[in-house]
Chains A and B, each alone.
Chain A
């Protein structure tokens, strides 16, 4: 004998079948909502394409100091969503022998612009007081990594500008 509640006798014998049917129909009702919702979610959260690196002209080697940094504003055009955006970002240039160290001003912590403290020869971030040395290595504060280095291509012709890869 089963131990079902006593009033189950009054119900039709196919209750399980019926509740399955109810559930199935409820699911059918949800389809018109779920379909568009899934599509919308997919369109919105799908990862975007990676952008190709862009080459921009900076300064000739002669204009880049070796004992300090030269603030340079790179300008380029990029696609951001539906917009074509003229971007301007700050890069710090320093000459090291025949090479150029190009550091992005964007703090590796949360992305504020670091500024150059000429008196102490280091970079300081105004947001959470992160500091970096001339090569971009972390000196103190919360930043987890050194300042991002851009690839700098130094031309053989000394008067031609150094090119940076963004």
Chain B
């Protein structure tokens, strides 16, 4: 140890910059959120690298590579679920951390740049979440990305061009996956590291802001950073990472059917953290669309970036800054409100049954064909007590789990049903019709 230290001098640097520093007395549990976010970020980095060992970033293999990982690799499912839930928890922690800084006035001089770098990190976090979506190349990936990029396309002047750059061609297509992969694993990590280094450097340069006094000097000194505050940080970080593991283990990450642009039965929904902007979009109609898609988000971003310069009030205590605090509360409530409305908003469309993940290839094919044949537009199906699909004009269409045909007979029947209300499927091959029969047979059990 002594030998290493005399050459590296790391311990000395640490003592001077971080561990030996005295924190202000007002430093408490709320000051641990940043470190917790950093821990989950590391989890994301590590699980992301592991995923990259399996993932094939090409549209014709991406979905299969994920399915292989989920089905044939020991703990592969857990690995992907960790990365999936890590993203959610990361968004929450970064947002809470930003709120903490906002309500405690931590963005005020001399920490304006720390705030800006932090804001950049929030943007990068959302960027990771958004670009990560597309990579599994399932239905959710495909449609959520399309909606997202079309929102970017609303940007005045450069919108259309920006859309082309993100898509990598005319409209969304296989090349888009590669663009998003490059953004997700190369561009964003580079931006992240730059901003993170700046953020951490500035925190170390200016120290933690005391929250009960106007200036830094008047803050009463508290205890050394290490091991007193670091203990709290470690506990919260363990809790955060533990939560990610728990969610990954209990809930897991969903994988829908492979992306199919021609699927009419699909009702795209983003993940919960994009519900607020998703819901905002519904509020603006026709010509006004650009307000919800561009001006409100852009205005909000600009407002947040300029916050330390607009808010010249030197007070940090919430009670003495009524306007700023009121704005903050309003913003938080609006976001939560929109998210809740987004969650409860019933889609105009019916739900489709879950993909028979892990079933045989034939059953999965049958499922895909049943959806392509739009069977759920007239037939309902009850699986595990949940009803999917809708009844069409002919409400006598029998529920699919009650079909009595043997698979082979059903295949024959589908070729030519001889019925007015029930379409025939002569264009499906015999093997395809048989796959449908097998899928329906499996539904009966």
Interface, chain A (partner B; CB < 8 A) = 44-45, 47-48, 50-51, 71, 73, 78-83, 85, 87-90, 105, 109-113, 115, 118-119, 124-129, 138, 140-144
Is there contact, CB below 8 Å, between B147 and A112?
Answer: yes
Is there contact, CB below 8 Å, between B173 and A83?
Answer: yes
* Closest CB in chain B relative to A52 CB, distance in Å: 11
* Closest CB in chain A relative to B293 CB, distance in Å: 8
Is there contact, CB below 8 Å, between B150 and A111?
Answer: yes
Distance of A53 Cα from B347 Cα, bound (Å): 35
Q: How many A-B residue pairs have CB under 8 A?
A: 109
Chain B, interface size: which category?
35 or more
Is there contact, CB below 8 Å, between A124 and B151?
Answer: no
Q: Which residues of B contact A144 (CB under 8 A)?
A: 286-287, 289
Residue of chain B at shortest CB distance from A91: B262
Is there contact, CB below 8 Å, between A81 and B174?
Answer: yes
Is there contact, CB below 8 Å, between B287 and A80?
Answer: no
* Closest CB in chain A relative to B138 CB, distance in Å: 15
Q: 8 A–B contact pairs at CB < 8 A?
A: A48-B168, A71-B374, A78-B173, A80-B174, A89-B261, A111-B147, A113-B263, A127-B143
Distance of A141 Cα from B169 Cα, bound (Å): 29
Is there contact, CB below 8 Å, between A126 and B268?
Answer: yes
Q: Which residues of A contact B374 (CB under 8 A)?
A: 71
8 nearest A-B residue pairs (beta carbon): A81-B175, A80-B173, A126-B349, A83-B174, A126-B267, A110-B150, A88-B262, A80-B169
Q: Which residues of B contact A85 (CB under 8 A)?
A: 59, 173-174
* Closest CB in chain A relative to B311 CB, distance in Å: 34
* Closest CB in chain B relative to A72 CB, distance in Å: 10
Contact (A142, B285) CB under 8 Å given A81-B175, A111-B147, A113-B266:
yes
Which of B151, B264, B287 lies in contact with A113, CB distance below 8 A?
B264
* Closest CB in chain B relative to A45 CB, distance in Å: 5
Distance of A44 Cα from B392 Cα, bound (Å): 47
Q: Which residues of B contact A138 (CB under 8 A)?
A: 286
Distance of A107 Cα from B169 Cα, bound (Å): 19
Contact (A124, B165) CB under 8 Å given A81-B175, A118-B393:
no
Query: Is B444 positioned at the interface, with any CB of A under 8 Å from its CB?
Result: no
Distance of A141 Cα from B282 Cα, bound (Å): 7
Contact (A48, B282) CB under 8 Å given A81-B178, A119-B393, A127-B268:
no
Distance of A105 Cα from B168 Cα, bound (Å): 22
Is there contact, CB below 8 Å, between A111 and B146?
Answer: yes
Is there contact, CB below 8 Å, between A88 and B261?
Answer: yes
Query: Is B164 positioned at the interface, with any CB of A under 8 Å from its CB?
Result: yes
Which of B143, B169, B261, B281 lies in contact with A48, CB distance below 8 A?
B169
Q: Which positions 113-164 of chain B face chain A at CB distance < 8 Å?
A: 143, 146-147, 150-151, 161, 164
Interface centre among B174, B263, B393, by most chain A C-beta atoms within 10 angstroms, is: B174
Q: Which residues of B contact A51 (CB under 8 A)?
A: 170
Query: Is B405 positioned at the interface, with any CB of A under 8 Å from its CB?
Result: no
* Closest CB in chain A relative to B224 CB, distance in Å: 40
* Closest CB in chain B relative to A110 CB, distance in Å: 4
Q: Which residues of B contact A47 (CB under 8 A)?
A: 161, 164
Interface, chain B (partner A; CB < 8 A) = 59-60, 143, 146-147, 150-151, 161, 164-165, 168-170, 173-176, 178, 260-268, 278, 281-282, 284-287, 289, 292, 347-349, 374, 377, 392-393
Is there contact, CB below 8 Å, between B143 and A112?
Answer: yes
Is there contact, CB below 8 Å, between B281 and A110?
Answer: yes
Distance of A83 Cα from B93 Cα, bound (Å): 39
Is there contact, CB below 8 Å, between B169 and A81?
Answer: yes
Is there contact, CB below 8 Å, between B147 and A110?
Answer: yes
Distance of A140 Cα from B281 Cα, bound (Å): 14
Residue of chain A at shortest CB distance from B151: A110
Q: Which residues of A contact B161 (CB under 8 A)?
A: 45, 47
* Closest CB in chain B relative to A74 CB, distance in Å: 9
Residue of chain A at shortest CB distance from B171: A80
Distance of A65 Cα from B374 Cα, bound (Å): 19
Is there contact, CB below 8 Å, between B175 and A83?
Answer: yes
* Closest CB in chain B relative to A48 CB, distance in Å: 6
Known contacts A48-B170, A83-B60, A144-B289; can you find 19 more A-B pairs with CB under 8 A?
A47-B164, A51-B170, A71-B264, A78-B173, A79-B169, A80-B176, A81-B168, A81-B175, A83-B59, A83-B174, A90-B262, A110-B150, A112-B147, A124-B348, A128-B281, A129-B348, A141-B285, A142-B284, A142-B286
Residue of chain B at shortest CB distance from A143: B286
* Closest CB in chain B relative to A78 CB, distance in Å: 8
Contact (A126, B348) CB under 8 Å given A80-B168, A90-B264, A138-B286:
yes
Q: Which residues of A contact B176 (CB under 8 A)?
A: 80
Residue of chain A at shortest CB distance from B279: A128
Distance of A70 Cα from B392 Cα, bound (Å): 15
Q: Which residues of A contact B349 (CB under 8 A)?
A: 115, 124, 126
Is there contact, CB below 8 Å, between B151 and A115?
Answer: no
Distance of A112 Cα from B266 Cα, bound (Å): 9
* Closest CB in chain A relative to B214 CB, distance in Å: 33
